[in-house]
Amino acid sequence: MAKKEKVKKGFGMYLFLFLLFVACLFVIWVIAMMFLPQRVILGLQYYSYNTQLPVENTTDNGLNLNFANTKKIVINSNSSNVLIQKADVEKDRVLFVNKSFGFATGKDNVKHSHEIKYFDNTLTINVTEPQGFLKLSDNTQVIIQLPLTSEYNFQNTEFVVSTESGSVVVGNTTAKDVDTKLNIEKLSVSTQSGNIRLTENLDSNFNSLFLSTKNGRCTVDNPTLSSASLKLVTENGSFSLKDLKNSTGGIIEANLGNGKLKAASITGSLSLVCKDAEVNVDTITKDLIGNNMKDIINRSKLSVGKVGGNISLPYLKDSNLTINEVGGEANIESTGGNIVIGSETKGLTKTSYIKTKKGNINVKISDDTIVKHNFATESGDISITYLKEPNSTTNILSSSGDVKLYVKSGYKFKLIMKDYAGKLYDKTSNKINIEFVTDNLTNPLLVNGYTGDTKLVDISTNGNITAKLI
């Protein structure tokens, strides 16, 4: 046993020494690469940069950069952050910053290069960043620098910026002694995982604005963002805005995928395409539109304080919808999810058609003209509250769900109660509970002696029917 123990100890000692030797070789290897950057050693290389390169000329023909004579500036990068701002410089220039370092294979291109070409009033800037499997620092920047003294603020220039992981900041982030506000005519920004920020030192009025981030965040510091053409696109990212305005009163497009949109107000109509998104908007001055049947709004959560115009959402799936006030008509159809419309003081005033299969419908009505309301669900419950005396024909249809009706004392209308097949319930049916009638229940019921057929509430359900006073 003693010999076996000695053998085990000896083997363990040799194994430890071998591993220590391997570790030392690895440390020596890593140190050698770090002391010889961009040198391939045993198939790997280390790269390290700390450079700032100001460029005032194009790389193809050496022309001086002149942003005032440039109609369009196109910037393409992979991981570089892009900044567009005014700076304490003497001439228009592009500053390339490279403070990246990391490890790469021998086949990876670890050079940092750029090209600036000018053709047909368009300045194109292409950047190639170091590529590696272990990027310890990915700090590279492309900074468009306009002199603080320049009277030109890009008011006749279009920017098209495209990055992968790099973020984009448009406008100065810190205050200067002079006015640094940029006035860009058109702006198009696309990132994959990078973030987008529009600062306060950027005029909020554009002729065209396109903001797209696949997985990043887009934030706007301006109180108001306005454009004649405005589109937001994301897959899993988010937009955080204050007031969003279509300067012509037209449509603002939002293709959100599974992302988020938060805004205080939207001036114009919002055309919505999304899947499992979250939308939270205080006010939409015109219409809320979701008419794209190819991209059904799947499991979204939509919350709007006020829609000044019409609602057209005929392709909801299992989404929850909450809207406090609707100025126009409502056309909503869903396979599931709950639909809540109206507040304590304001309800539907125009024609409405609201249908869902499994979800519940909770609606308040305050119309004062003769219109029509249609509410239908297969298995969900329907709750209707009249904030004013009914002035419309309201049809309520539910296969198996319960129907609850809330009215104030003194309202006059005609109430018809039927099963799902259309047969009138007997006045003694246990399916009916009319709390504001103590005796002489009839079906149809002429509430408070109403005569006529225009103020009509027609209920068909196999569930229970309850009518209460509020």
Q: What is the CA radius of gyration of the chain?
A: 33
Which helix or strand (DSSP H or E) is residue 17 part of? helix 2-35
Contacts by residues 430-439 (CB-CB < 8 Å, ≥ 24 positions apart): 431/463, 431/464, 431/465, 432/464, 432/465, 433/464, 433/465, 433/466, 433/467, 434/466, 434/467, 435/466, 435/467, 435/468, 435/469, 436/407, 436/409, 436/467, 436/468, 436/469
DSSP SS3 for 34: helix
- Amino acid at residue number 359: G
SS in 3 state form for 161-224? EECCCCCEEECECCCCCCCCCECCCEEEEEECCCCEEECCEECCEEEEEEEEECCCEEEECCCE
Give the pLDDT of the chain (470 residues) as one tens digit per residue: 555 555 555 555 655 555 555 455 455 545 555 554 555 555 577 777 889 999 999 998 899 999 999 999 999 999 999 999 999 999 999 999 999 877 767 676 778 889 999 999 999 999 998 887 666 777 899 999 999 999 999 999 999 999 999 999 999 998 777 788 999 999 999 999 999 999 999 998 999 999 999 999 999 999 999 999 999 999 999 999 999 999 999 999 999 999 999 999 999 999 999 999 999 999 999 999 998 877 778 899 999 999 999 999 999 999 999 999 999 999 999 999 999 999 999 999 999 999 998 889 999 999 988 899 999 998 899 999 999 999 999 999 999 899 999 999 999 999 999 999 999 999 889 999 998 876 788 999 999 989 888 899 999 999 999 999 98
- Strand partners of residue 219: 197, 240
Confirm if 142 and 171 have CB atoms less than 8 A apart.
Answer: no
Give the model's pLDDT for residue 239: 97
Cβ-proximal residues to 117 (8 Å cutoff; 6+ apart), any chain:
58, 59, 60, 123, 124, 126
Would you call the peptide bond into 130 cis, given omega within 30 degrees of 0 as the criterion?
Answer: no
Beta bridge partners of 432: 465
SS3 category, 22 = helix
Cα 102 to its chain centre, rounded Å, is 34
Distance CA 290, CA 254 (A): 10
